[in-house]
């Protein structure tokens, strides 16, 4: 947390205003920064208070977790203005906590369960407590009935879910809540251990939800969580992997760095409790290592932000509304989220994984969302050092008319390559077959369909590309029949 404070304090003025050229943080990210600053000295605490005093509530759902967390951990350090912002933003999103409690992911459920439990204590609401406990019982049952979480092996969201479970186990007043949270946390640690490649310092499986920086092998919260839970033998520390040096060292965009640093700082605020068998599984895999798992994914409907639409109209149109506090005219400001034609059905997905010492391959038979990497590979490209240059990744996307665009207007994540198809994969050992079809929302104006295997070259180009028995020195080639594509990449042939 100290490194996160030192890296991000210069991005704020003494009055709490964001002065960096990087993307300005919303209320959620400001709360992350403040969790780190409140753990520092008097100057850090004063800065945290000024940041909150000058913040505007944008209705972010995650306030239901982070606002009560700051109130609980640092209540005595808060200025009157900081407390007022946190309490008002918490109260504004609280009505949505019931809705998000039973949505399609465990990370949403656990985060909102914590908020409801804190609200139950603050407002003497037994119904809030009962709903949170009901969800935790369901989540515990689901995880022990299925192999892994709904967001299977998510590089971005598995650490969020672990953080939420660890926080509940650490801070909950209720004995049953602590017991349920501990069981959930243990199961999630086993999930992380199962997908972790100890030689390559990276997950080697499909991922239910990823962003570009995750898919291309850049530094992600999962690296920080693996280090916190399993130690430096499993994953080098954030400092050694360059988190506080530069975006280049993290294979990331500059806009993502404050987000990553603050996120990893708050992950480090919890003392986790991974079971010993999870550490053995993460560290002591015997190669070749193969596994299978299953999970049940909820149906997912895509949403897009829309301005100028009120809460009543958003609900009438099948969407939802994130409140952002009272506006100047006394009405409720916020952002409407309206459904798009993007839809992913509910279903049971089967997950496969294979690892040897220099290679890992993972697949899923069904996508969870358009952020799913249903076929993902990672391989060694040189002798590993304590950075991210020793391996390379491959993932798939389906494109229409050769349009490969970034979707999700979230520069703090680095965006995500738009998935324009529906697909999955099956696998046997180091071989996989993936399939795709155009999504049902796309029916007209199609002239070309293409499945793209995307290989990141952030840390240098692939040395040789071959199409069949023809070397492609200019990295391009075509074939009139299906043919193999080979890569020579350092010490690996793929």
At residue 134, the 3 state secondary structure works out as helix
Pairwise CA distance, residues 203 & 276, whole Å: 19
Work out the average pLDDT over 103-131.
Answer: 91
Work out the average pLDDT over 404-408.
Answer: 55
CA triple 284-288-293, angle to 5 deg: 80
Identify the residue whose tokens are 């696998």: 427
Residue 380: the pLDDT is 93
At residue 23, the 3 state secondary structure works out as coil
C-alpha distances (whole Å) from 61 to each of 96, 135, 362 are 8, 17, 32
pLDDT tens sequence across 161-220: 999 999 999 999 999 999 999 999 999 999 999 999 999 999 999 999 888 888 988 889
Burial of 341 (0-12, 13-18, 19+ CB in 10 A): exposed
Judged against a pLDDT cut of 60, whether residue 411 lies above it is answered with: no
Residues 6+ apart with CB under 8 A from 139: 106, 109, 110, 180, 184
pTM for the structure as a whole: 0.90
**70 or 410: which leads in pLDDT:** 70
Furthest CA-CA distance within the chain: 72
Judged against a pLDDT cut of 90, whether residue 81 lies above it is answered with: yes
**CA dihedral for 43, 45, 48, 53, sign (positive or negative):** negative
Work out the average pLDDT over 437-449.
Answer: 74
Work out the average pLDDT over 70-92.
Answer: 94
Tokens (6 digits) for 243 = 């988190």
Highest-pLDDT range among 48-52, 57-61, 346-350, 383-387: 48-52
Residue 438: the pLDDT is 81
Closest alpha carbon to 296 in 56, 47, 106, 26: 106
Residue 460: the pLDDT is 86
Task: Cis check for the bond before 288: say yes or no (omega within 30 of 0).
Answer: yes
Residue 149: the pLDDT is 94
- In the chain, DSSP finds a helix count (H) and a strand count (E) of 14, 19
pLDDT tens sequence across 10-41: 999 999 999 998 778 889 999 999 999 999 99
What is the residue-averaged pLDDT of the chain?
86
**239 or 288: which leads in pLDDT:** 288
Work out the average pLDDT over 214-227.
Answer: 92
pLDDT tens sequence across 257-311: 888 899 999 999 999 999 999 999 999 999 999 999 999 887 766 656 666 677 6
In 111-257, DSSP assigns E strands to: 196-197, 202-203
Pairwise CA distance, residues 118 & 172, whole Å: 9
pLDDT tens sequence across 314-337: 666 666 566 554 332 333 456 666
CA triple 61-273-388, angle to 5 deg: 75
pLDDT > 90 fraction of the chain, expressed in percent and rounded: 56
**368 or 153: which leads in pLDDT:** 153
pLDDT tens sequence across 87-115: 998 988 887 777 777 767 899 899 999 99
How many C-beta neighbours within 10 Å does residue 125 have? Answer: 14
End-to-end alpha-carbon separation of the chain, Å? Answer: 39
Pairwise CA distance, residues 432 & 423, whole Å: 13
């Amino acid at each position: 947390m100290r490194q996160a404070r030192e890296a991000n304090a210069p991005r704020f003025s003494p009055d709490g205003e964001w002065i960096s050229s990087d993307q300005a943080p919303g209320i959620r990210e400001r709360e992350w920064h403040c969790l780190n600053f409140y753990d520092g000295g008097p100057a850090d605490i004063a800065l945290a208070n000024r940041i909150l005093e000058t913040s505007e509530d944008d209705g972010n759902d995650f306030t239901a977790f982070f606002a009560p967390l700051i109130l609980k951990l640092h209540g005595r350090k808060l200025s009157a203005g900081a407390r007022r912002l946190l309490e008002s933003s918490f109260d504004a999103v609280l009505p949505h906590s019931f809705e998000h409690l039973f949505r399609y992911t465990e990370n949403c459920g656990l985060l909102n369960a914590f908020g409801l439990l804190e609200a139950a204590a603050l407002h003497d609401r037994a119904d809030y407590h009962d709903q949170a406990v009901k969800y935790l019982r369901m989540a515990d049952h689901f995880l022990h009935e299925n192999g892994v979480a709904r967001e299977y092996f998510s590089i971005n969201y598995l650490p969020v879910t672990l953080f939420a479970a660890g926080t509940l186990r650490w801070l909950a007043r209720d004995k049953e809540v602590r017991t349920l949270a501990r069981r959930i946390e243990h199961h999630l640690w086993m999930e992380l251990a199962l997908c972790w490649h100890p030689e390559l310092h990276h997950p080697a499986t499909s991922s239910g939800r990823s962003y570009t920086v995750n898919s291309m092998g850049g530094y992600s919260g999962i690296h920080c969580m693996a280090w916190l839970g399993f130690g430096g033998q499993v994953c080098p520390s954030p400092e050694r992997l360059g988190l506080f040096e530069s975006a280049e060292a993290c294979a990331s965009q500059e806009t993502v760095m404050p987000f990553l640093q603050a996120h990893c700082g708050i992950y480090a605020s919890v003392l986790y409790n991974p079971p010993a068998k999870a550490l053995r599984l993460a560290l002591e895999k015997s190669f070749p290592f193969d596994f299978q798992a299953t999970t049940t994914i909820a149906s997912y409907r895509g949403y897009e932000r829309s301005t100028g639409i009120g809460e009543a109209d958003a609900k009438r149109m099948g969407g939802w509304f994130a409140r952002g506090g009272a506006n100047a005219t006394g009405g409720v400001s916020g952002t409407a989220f309206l459904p798009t034609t993007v839809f992913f059905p509910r279903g049971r997905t089967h997950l496969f994984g294979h690892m040897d010492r220099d290679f890992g391959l993972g697949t899923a038979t069904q996508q969870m969302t358009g952020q799913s990497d249903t076929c993902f590979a990672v391989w060694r490209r040189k002798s590993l050092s304590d950075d991210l240059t020793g391996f390379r990744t491959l993932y798939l996307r389906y494109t229409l008319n050769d349009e490969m665009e970034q979707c999700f207007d979230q520069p703090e994540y680095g965006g995500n390559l738009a998935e324009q198809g529906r697909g999955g994969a099956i696998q046997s050992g180091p071989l996989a077959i993936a399939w795709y079809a155009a999504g049902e929302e796309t029916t007209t104006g199609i002239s070309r369909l293409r499945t793209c295997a995307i290989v990141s070259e952030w840390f240098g180009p692939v040395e040789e590309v071959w199409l069949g028995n023809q070397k492609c020195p200019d990295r391009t080639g075509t074939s009139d029949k299906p043919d193999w594509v080979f890569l020579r990449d350092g010490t690996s042939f793929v």
